[in-house]
Amino acid sequence: MKVVLGVSGGIAAYKACELLRLFTESGHEVRVVPTREALKFVGAPTWAALSGHPVSAEVWDDVHEVPHVRIGKGADLVVVAPATADVLARAAHGLAGDLLTNTLLTATCPVVFAPAMHTEMWQHAATRANVATLRSRGAVVIDPAAGRLTGADTGPGRLPDPAEIFQACLRVLAGRPRDLAGRKVVVSAGGTREAIDPVRFIGNRSSGLQGYALARTAAARGAEVTLVAANVTLPDPAGAAIVRVESTAELREAVLSASADADVVVMAAAVADFRPESRHDAKIKKTDGEPEAIRLVKNPDILAELGERRRAARTALTDGDREAGPGAVPPRVIVGFAAETHDVLANGQAKLARKGCDLLVVNQVGEGLAFGTAGNAATVLVAGGEAVEVPFGPKEDLADVVWDLVAARLP
């Protein structure tokens, strides 16, 4: 595929070198089009050597080849990373003062922007309006990650990890549907930890890979994603707002608050069923003698609570609301996960009936199965009877099956 990598003048321009490598090493032909300001951060020789193509920011070089039209028209994808506040504004307003903005005006292929800037610039009304304009024209604008910015400051505005931008671009190239555009989804991922004392906890083997794949694919399909991540060390998925939690109580609070106006909640996190009845304030020492037994108490069942809250809200609907159908009550679709070591389907069916969710993804777990692996196999049980088998494959594939089923259930 022919990819145009637009690079604008932000401090994260150096990270685009890695994005370029990811494209070229997977067989894509990449033409880099930097802005003049981008060349102050990373020079043309770097882009030319890494891409194998000449590099210019101007429409006046190699004019006989009419690059200001030809590059955009010949592209299968244009990705601008990092996209400065300035380049977003120029693209939104159709300005064409350099080769990159000419290319954006002549491209008929999908366009992806990966903005990076200081939080104040990202949150400014002008930038918000420019992003909305670009999205309304069909461009994919990946929300920046939160984290360390140019100086000592932190906040939303950081360029997502190049590998995450690359994955988002591959999804756009593969023509994934944008059927979750305008939908608000909440995904929980990872595994909760229950403290025994300040240094020890009871945890589980969940890596967060499946939840992160769900968040990444939902964002690629256009959803506004809140990812509630419990103890996950993976790179932030491009385009998701992340809330980090540790314990089940924290995860419950974050999920319930984010799901109040959500269209979809997917509970992919492995939530501890039990926690120690009490937490020691100081580290339990070997010298304290024989350890005392740890008494466990039950944690709240968040999936059942989501289902119960929705059931109660549906019952309380006024006659007028009821005419809008059960879909009037958020979350419109609730998806649970069941990790089972034996009697997988029977346990899954029983859990689906008990929890009041719409879909239940059932998978077998154990050593080398599901936890921490790149792939997964599962059965998705649908309330009402259907069961969809998903053969072993990348966790993104399972995620896409889940979103297909979810999209079909959204009003």
Ligand X SMILES: Cc1cc2nc3c(=O)[nH]c(=O)nc-3n(C[C@H](O)[C@H](O)[C@H](O)COP(=O)(O)O)c2cc1C
- Point out which residues bind ligand X (CB under 6 A): 8-12, 35, 37-38, 84-87, 116-117, 121, 150
Contact 256, 265 (CB under 8 A): no
Cα 330 from Cα 382, distance rounded (Å): 18
Q: How far is the CB of 302 from ligand X (least distance, A)?
A: 38
The β-bridge partners of 359 are: 335, 382
Q: Which of 223, 78, 216 is nearest to 145 (CA)?
A: 216
Q: Report DSSP state, residue 115.
A: E
Q: How far is CA 410 from the centre of its chain?
A: 20
Query: Amino acid identity of 113?
Result: F
Measured from the CB atom, the residue of 104 and 338 that comes closer to ligand X is: 104
Q: Checking phi first, is residue 356 left (phi over 0); if not, alpha (psi -120 to 50) or beta? A: left
Q: Find out whether 235 is annotated in a ligand binding site.
A: no
Verify whether residue 204 is a known catalytic residue: yes
Q: How far is the CB of 114 from ligand X (least distance, A)?
A: 11
Measured from the CB atom, the residue of 85 and 251 that comes closer to ligand X is: 85
**Pick the catalytic residue: 204, 231, 299, 376?**
204
Q: Find out whether 234 is annotated in a ligand binding site.
A: no
Q: At what angle do helices 344-355 and 302-315 cross, to 10 degrees?
A: 40
Q: How far is the CB of 124 from ligand X (least distance, A)?
A: 11
Q: How far is the CB of 49 from ligand X (least distance, A)?
A: 21
Cα 284 from Cα 273, distance rounded (Å): 23
Q: Find out whether 276 is annotated in a ligand binding site.
A: no
Measured from the CB atom, the residue of 98 and 358 that comes closer to ligand X is: 98
Q: Find out whether 197 is annotated in a ligand binding site.
A: no
Q: Find out whether 273 is annotated in a ligand binding site.
A: yes
The β-bridge partners of 217 are: none
Measured from the CB atom, the residue of 104 and 398 that comes closer to ligand X is: 104
Measured from the CB atom, the residue of 157 and 222 that comes closer to ligand X is: 157
Pair type for strands 145-148 and 154-158: antiparallel
Q: How far is the CB of 68 from ligand X (least distance, A)?
A: 15
Q: Find out whether 351 is annotated in a ligand binding site.
A: yes
The β-bridge partners of 275 are: 297
Residue 12 in tokens: 């994260």
Contact 29, 1 (CB under 8 A): yes
8 three-state secondary structure? coil
| Known binding residues | 273, 283, 300-303, 337, 351, 355
Give the residue numbers marked as catalytic. 204
Binding-site sequence positions for CTP: 273, 283, 300-303, 337, 351, 355
